[in-house]
Structure 1
């Protein structure tokens, strides 16, 4: 087996100057973070482009797709979190040079996530009555429910893609995911332009194009793995994947709760916004703000992944001080990038929504929310990186408790009381969206 670049001479770095140590750690970090940023920005870019085309179809179509994306986002957050268990297990196994275990962990994750995917299907099937129960307008609930049904293929792509991504990432092979995502992104743009702009197909076509993009990413990674790209870590399918499955379920569940509680909170805000006056405008404006914030957050989430791998690698190799230094470098780098985007949002506050809509009312609403959006982006540049430290250290359960307290015992009641009781409107929801990262960092 060839030497592992990320683990070479970590302890000897402490004899070098501070700047040299920062430079060396940054190189190791960016080998993971660079492809991860590209992959995440491009994949989320497919969602944003789909929303942009929907926004130009009409306000109702934009709101319906936004609500549908919220529903799929529940499974997205859960599966993304559950797959992060592989960051702990694969990262530490790779650091300890137990290479064969990576393939076994991957298969266990597939089994667990597929079972959860099947159990979550009723949410997709009964979206319309669930939305009506939540108080959404009937026309919006009906269209969103119809769109959500067509996103079931995307739902199963999540359960296959995320474990593959973590498996490759722990081996410094996340460039495979980035390449697959790049192909999917180019294909997605071309098909959207051809079918939606030239031939004027409707919203369902846009959703089907998005489904296809997710499966291109998934199949690209799978084919690389089974065609000999991972000879030391993929030995084929094995019955060992069924051993200790319950322990894996517990770790995956705690990982899923850790991240999904955060992801679900933002989606709950959009659902609550549907109960405000002028629901289409309120949902559209808040969804645009969250789309911008989430698109930018792909960068901190890449640092979340990179930090998790670096910390897990160093802890697996028994180097605690190197893991701590990796965390510090990652936090400061992500904060610097967040500050740049904070300044850009404040500078172009009245133009940031033009990509999504031509509606003057929604453009003005987004402009009014831009300051809070800028500070949301700034604070969110730090807390995902700290969550990555927790993943690399195996502390998922602790972070889950922090998320429950900050998001659901503080944030949701805060938004309900001020938004629905005191009628402060959508500003309160984006305000609580801004405030909660501060609570978690503290």
Structure 2
């Protein structure tokens, strides 16, 4: 081999060695994340470049969907072991059911710095099975009555410490000014077990009703349901915005932020958005009260629901290690601090960590902090009150999703006027009895 040939071979060997040194030690992992198009999740997606910068071996692929569509997609995917997602946004309804069917991977790799013990106990318990966490809460919520303080003052009204539905009806009439585009009451009307039925299930409880009795018999024709739905339809027909049967959480959030709602009973997470000058035209005029009561023996702080939009890993994912790294980041104390740095403390995802409510920077910036924490702590989804199931605004059984969606369509029909309240409740009862019989809960 002459000198020239030797030099060529050495050069080639050096180039190959350099190429081998420059090759990444690990191939990049792509995580597909299915999430809902709520504002906090949209913000998370916008800030996720921070995670990718700190974890260059992980790429995030987002699938952001409207709430009803997300629920349908993730339920179909996990039930069929489809493997479409590596991280799913699910809630307190799905976690105990899916974990018991081995559809979710346990979150046992979040890291020592995650501080699982800092999670608010009610939320942590709702997302755990036999003491193991199967989903990490991104934000959590209960119910608040949001109202316009300026409109109440003009009408000579004062919000009670514990409002009743009788007071709400009186106030809705007095603050409605349709010529000015102001509606006394904005409530969910869009059909879906997590849309109108989340609200109506809770309202029915405020009148002493439940979905099922102790023997799993559906209760949609009970006095409590009739009172609740009749009042709901009456109030929304007289004092609600047009097209209310199409309005869900996001639509009412927009209406309230535009100054078009005198009152709105809904998820406490809305409070940070309606008090944000960047997103609301009435940020300084919002007051907060507990959920209303419809019966005399009203418990402290009304009837509350309990929900947490949470991040979980389906059993079908083969990227659990990377997925846990992302979940740990997105639901950490450090993520809350990142949102505070970018958007201000009042805009951090609420309801998940005890330390947040012990942080004076947050409690001073968020006038709704105390009301939110009180509502969450007063929401007890455990068994009681003659009901055989766990859950407040839902029943934690697999059949509830289908029943709730079908019943929600009947309630939307009553609201739009295409069915009477009695017709809607009769149809709801028939649907629920049929499905509960098929499921073996009711014996012929």
TM-score (norm 1): 0.24
Q: Greater helix percent: which structure?
A: 1
Q: Greater strand percent: which structure?
A: 2
Structure with greater Cα Rg:
2
